[in-house]
Structure 1
Amino acid sequence: MYSLYLNENPLKFCGTSVSKERTPFNIVGIPLDQTVTFRSGTRFAPTRIREVSANIELYSFRVHVDFENILAYDMGDLCLVPGDLKASLDRIELLAREVFSENRFTIFMGGEHLITYPIVKSLPQNTKVIIFDAHFDLRNEYLNSKLNHACVTRRIVEHVSPKNVMIIGVRAACSEEVDFVRKRGINYIPSHIITHESIPEIVKRINKFLMGSEIVYISIDMDVIDPAYAPGVSNPEPEGITPKCLLDILSTILSPNVKGLDIVEVTPPHDVSDITSILASKIIVECFSIMYTRIAKALKVRHRKR
């Protein structure tokens, strides 16, 4: 049914799309840009990320996989409802629910960060959610709206337990959010801690959080990365983490339990020489490549047990 709401984009991720039968991966654009409060333009990100992705190399040195041999089924862009935010969010939730029912690892290209809320709503309430973000996004409302990219994590913890959420790379908050985090026991790792501790120490914390979880969802707000590397985002914040740090963490925590991932808040009109869109496409390629090795390993283990 979700296919009724998809618009085929003439541009494809990495320049081409393969059929579902040839790949275990989906990629889809969700160009929501309705509640951005500072620098709008996230609606242009799915197309721009696709455009630049056709001009990067696809071999992953992290896992020694050539993504050109795997690729993804590019579903196109979700057609949203102009002026009706709730209807658009309902449509995103429907898409996510049906995609996850097919048990295919899917990357959602935003669009603003609010898209994460309906995607997580489509998953069971015991889902563990890891959010890479410069901001807590835990205000109860912002500008008289509870459905806002500044409130997305607050809405998420109304669906899953606050203790099932971890925010990584945070460095910007208001006192309301800090109080909420302390009262509800939300897990978080500030960016300055990541800078001072080793990646294995950070991963140890994350793995402790993930212990016993069967369903995991990951959200990457590109403002988690320092604006020196990713200037083209809606709300840039200094003292961010590096792309290497993000990818080193992802290469350790990605597993078959991760059902999907989004990459959000890329804002091409405010980018410099497309470096943020290029970085986003590189992150997507690396995530697909890493997941391919994890899925292949899991299949080998299952085969041995038979």
Structure 2
Amino acid sequence: MTSSDNSPRHASDDARPPRGPVDSSRVPRYAGPATFARLPRIDQTEGRADVAVVGVPFDTGVSYRPGARFGGNAIREASRLLRPYNPAQDASPFALAQVADAGDIAVNPFDIGEALETVEHAAGELLDAGSRLMTLGGDHTIALPLLRAMAREHGPVALLHFDAHLDTWDTYFGAPYTHGTPFRRAVEEGVLDTSALSHVGTRGPLYGKRDLDDDAKMGFGIVTSADVMRRGVDEVVDQLRQRIGSRPLYVSVDIDVLDPAHAPGTGTPEAGGLTSRELLEIVRGLSDCHLISADLVEVAPAYDHAEITSVAASHTAYELTTLMTRQIAAARGSASGG
């Protein structure tokens, strides 16, 4: 069900100042619990969070290398290096709105169907409490229940899908719910706005040309990694923003959108991907879009030498979180006449 109240809802509408991260000039970065960006836990903010950073330690849907169930905590560890001011967006995101670490959604690793229901229910509760979500996976199967929850709140949503792969295949080994199928299921279920869908960074071999034909029939546009290289970030961002318009936007980032040189710690690597700089710049270019929530998935730390992948993932999540807090602060200012 779509909310009938068009006014923005924020967890910190009571005007209390946000509680920020631990001061790393006083407490060493390597000390203390590894919440995202050293932010408070959601129980330390009385359950309030304009943006809730939540983990989903689940990788039962993978078709190749496992290990993404440990991705969320690896991203949290890498995020110890993040600082409270984001010069690229000229914003202090954790001062603009309350961001808190909501911990992990505990899902059944032996039953995919039950796991998806658990994620959808937990995501819905956080949305009902007024939070936008920055979800740390986990494998890409979790995007489907997250999109279901978003659609109940906003109606069918626009999607930017950063990935080496299409993830619109029908089944793997006859199974309809895997990390390669979430966006086909989402289209079939009507939770996506099919006039505003795009893959970014796709590349590599497919099973056949029909994969692309089926994908186009679902409404997806494609910006390949080669397109980004040839056309440049600014032109690509302009194209994406025109496609999205003012629709509620969900961003889903599979870290394998990055070249294995920039993200070796993932389950299904493909050569020829984006650089971490290109990914960050494209995300920053979405500042005028109505970003409702995002996920970042497929970080598998067992294959991540020197935390290269986790660092790239933590910075990507930081940029997405900054976008959301800026929009929340702007909406609050507009609502108050400021």
2:74 paired residue number: 48
Cα distance in 2, alignment partners of residues 20 and 235 from structure 1: 39
Note the 1:102-121 alignment, pairs <5 A: 102-121=129-148
Q: 2:286 aligns with which of 220, 230, 253?
A: 253
Note the 1:263-278 alignment, pairs <5 A: 263-278=296-311
2:108 paired residue number: 81
> CA offset at residue 256 of structure 1?
7.0
Report how many residues are paired. 296
Q: 1:13 aligns with which of 15, 33, 36?
A: 36
Going from structure 1 to structure 2, the CA distance change for 1:256 and 1:96 (only over 3 Å counts) comes to farther
Cα distance in 2, alignment partners of residues 174 and 302 from structure 1: 50
Note the 1:137-176 alignment, pairs <5 A: 137-159=167-189, 160-172=192-204, 173-175=206-208, 176=210
Going from structure 1 to structure 2, the CA distance change for 1:81 and 1:298 (only over 3 Å counts) comes to same
Cα distance in 1, alignment partners of residues 46 and 213 from structure 2: 46
Amino acid at match of 1:202: V
Q: 2:127 aligns with which of 93, 100, 104?
A: 100
Considering only aligned residues, what root-mean-square deviation do their CA atoms show, in Å? Answer: 2.2
Going from structure 1 to structure 2, the CA distance change for 1:185 and 1:56 (only over 3 Å counts) comes to closer
1:280 paired residue number: 313
Q: Secondary structure at the match of 2:81?
A: coil
Q: Secondary structure at the match of 2:37?
A: helix
| Between 287-296 and 123-132, the greater mean CA deviation after superposition | 287-296
2:223 paired residue number: 189
Give structure 2 stretches of 5+ with no counterpart: 1-32
TM-score (norm 2): 0.81
Cα distance in 2, alignment partners of residues 180 and 41 from structure 1: 30
> CA offset at residue 21 of structure 1?
6.9
| Between 102-111 and 161-170, the greater mean CA deviation after superposition | 161-170
> CA offset at residue 255 of structure 1?
5.1
Cα distance in 1, alignment partners of residues 246 and 303 from structure 2: 41
Cα distance in 2, alignment partners of residues 48 and 228 from structure 1: 18
Amino acid at match of 2:251: I
Q: Secondary structure at the match of 1:274?
A: helix
Cα distance in 2, alignment partners of residues 244 and 167 from structure 1: 18
> CA offset at residue 135 of structure 1?
0.3
Going from structure 1 to structure 2, the CA distance change for 1:202 and 1:61 (only over 3 Å counts) comes to same
Cα distance in 2, alignment partners of residues 139 and 295 from structure 1: 35
Residue-by-residue CA offset, 1:28-76 (whole Å, 9 max, x unaligned): 1001110212111001111111122223434311123345646621111
Contact 1:137 1:154 in 2 (8 A): yes
Q: Secondary structure at the match of 1:32?
A: coil
Contact 1:255 1:295 in 2 (8 A): no
Give structure 1 stretches of 5+ with no counterpart: 1-9
Cα distance in 1, alignment partners of residues 180 and 107 from structure 2: 20
Going from structure 1 to structure 2, the CA distance change for 1:251 and 1:77 (only over 3 Å counts) comes to same
> CA offset at residue 293 of structure 1?
2.4
Q: Secondary structure at the match of 1:250?
A: helix
Q: Aligned residues: percent identity?
A: 28
Cα distance in 1, alignment partners of residues 333 and 98 from structure 2: 21
Note the 1:220-259 alignment, pairs <5 A: 220-254=253-287, 257-259=290-292
Going from structure 1 to structure 2, the CA distance change for 1:104 and 1:59 (only over 3 Å counts) comes to same
Contact 1:11 1:51 in 2 (8 A): yes
1:202 aligns with 2:236: yes
> CA offset at residue 146 of structure 1?
0.9
Contact 1:256 1:295 in 2 (8 A): no
Residue-by-residue CA offset, 1:217-246 (whole Å, 9 max, x unaligned): 110000011111111011111111112211
Going from structure 1 to structure 2, the CA distance change for 1:226 and 1:49 (only over 3 Å counts) comes to same
Contact 2:58 2:109 in 1 (8 A): no
Cα distance in 2, alignment partners of residues 162 and 66 from structure 1: 34
| Between 66-75 and 138-147, the greater mean CA deviation after superposition | 66-75
Going from structure 1 to structure 2, the CA distance change for 1:237 and 1:112 (only over 3 Å counts) comes to same
Amino acid at match of 2:139: E
Going from structure 1 to structure 2, the CA distance change for 1:91 and 1:255 (only over 3 Å counts) comes to farther
Residue-by-residue CA offset, 1:164-201 (whole Å, 9 max, x unaligned): 42111111333231120233332121111111113221
Residue-by-residue CA offset, 1:204-227 (whole Å, 9 max, x unaligned): 2111211241x2111000001111
1:37 aligns with 2:69: no
> CA offset at residue 120 of structure 1?
0.4
Q: Secondary structure at the match of 2:211?
A: helix
